[in-house]
Structures are given as C-alpha cells and as structure tokens.
C-alpha cells in the first residue's frame, strides 16, 4: 500500500481511492501537467505472474485506444524500478456507488442506469478482450457530458 506523499514514477500520491484483489487505485498528481490522475497499481504478487502482467498491459493498451465521453482516458502506463506495473488514467470525481448502496442512498439499478442508451453506447466501442478492469462490478457513477446527476447523494 502506498502512503500519502509517496512518489511512483513521478506521480505524487494524494490518497487511496480503492483496492481489491488486483491491486489499488490512487488519486495522484500528474508530474507533467496540472491535473489529478487515477493511478492503478497492480499488486506485487500479480506482477510476478507473466500472464497477469501481459493481461494488465493489454488492458492499458486497449483502453488507451478507446475514445468515448463515458470511458475514462488512459494517459500512460509503466512500471516501477522493482517491476510493479501501473496505469495513469483520467480521474473522474463521482459518487462511490458501492458506499451509496450500502448507506441506502440509492437503489441498486435506478440512478446509474437512468440512461440505458448512454450505458449501451459506452460499451459499444470496446473490443471483446479480457480485462482486469471488468472483473468486478462498477463502483462509481458519474453523469455524462451535459447531463446532470439525479438520484445520487451529494
């Protein structure tokens, strides 16, 4: 686990956004531009597995090739001096859907699917490939461009 203020390949860690079996995602400062990024770091254990390393790199490369307003942009990927893989991507400040569901602040299906057409279109440009990002259900929701947030806690 990385701590606030630590630096990974130039990215200064602000805080952890979430973690799971694959690794962790951190809010970090971009070293080259005045913006925050989501820095996804594959766990050290999985970095020792050549198949997982290849899968993680494929995920980054595939995601970087996609351009859609409802898919986060991948800026770059790399590895630390000790071989830990990471992906720097667009940070979207949204609501943590998992926490909102547990708190009873929203229903399991309503707010995040208020625009089924929007959800359908965000997946239509994605190729059929294995992804470490899709191994778990989504944990955040944010409105699309020009849409306002409805039914989500503020």
Parse the chain into domains and list their residue ranges.
7-141
As a whole number, the mean pLDDT across the chain is: 80
Q: Does domain 7-141 have CATH number 3.60.21.10?
A: no
Q: Is 40 annotated as a binding residue?
A: yes
148 has a pLDDT exceeding 70: no
pLDDT reported for residue 1: 82
Q: What is the SS3 assignment for 134? A: helix
Q: How sure is the predictor about 67, in pLDDT bands with cuts at 50, 70 and 90?
A: very high
pLDDT reported for residue 122: 54
DSSP string across 18-78? EE-SSEEEEEEE-SSSS-EEEEEEE-HHHHT-HHHHHHHHHHHHHHHT---TTSPPEEEEE
11 has a pLDDT exceeding 50: yes
Q: What is the mean pLDDT of residues 19-47?
A: 96
pLDDT reported for residue 33: 96
More confident residue, 26 or 133: 26
Do 28 and 8 touch, CB atoms closer than 8 A? yes
pLDDT reported for residue 146: 53
pTM of the entire structure? 0.69
């Amino acid at each position: 686990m990385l701590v606030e203020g630590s630096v990974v390949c130039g990215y200064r860690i602000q805080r952890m956004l979430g973690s799971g079996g694959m690794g962790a995602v951190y809010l970090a400062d971009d070293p080259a531009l005045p913006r925050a990024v989501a820095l996804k770091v594959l766990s050290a254990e999985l970095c020792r597995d050549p198949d997982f390393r290849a899968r993680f790199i494929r995920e980054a490369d595939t995601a970087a090739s996609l351009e859609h307003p409802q898919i986060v942009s991948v800026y770059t990927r790399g590895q630390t001096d000790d071989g830990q893989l990471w992906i720097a991507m667009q940070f979207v400040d949204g609501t943590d859907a998992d926490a909102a569901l547990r708190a009873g602040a929203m229903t399991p299906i309503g707010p995040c699917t208020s625009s089924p057409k929007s959800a359908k279109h965000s997946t239509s440009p994605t190729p059929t490939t294995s992804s470490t990002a899709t191994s778990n259900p989504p944990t955040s929701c944010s409105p699309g461009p020009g849409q306002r947030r409805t039914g989500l806690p503020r």
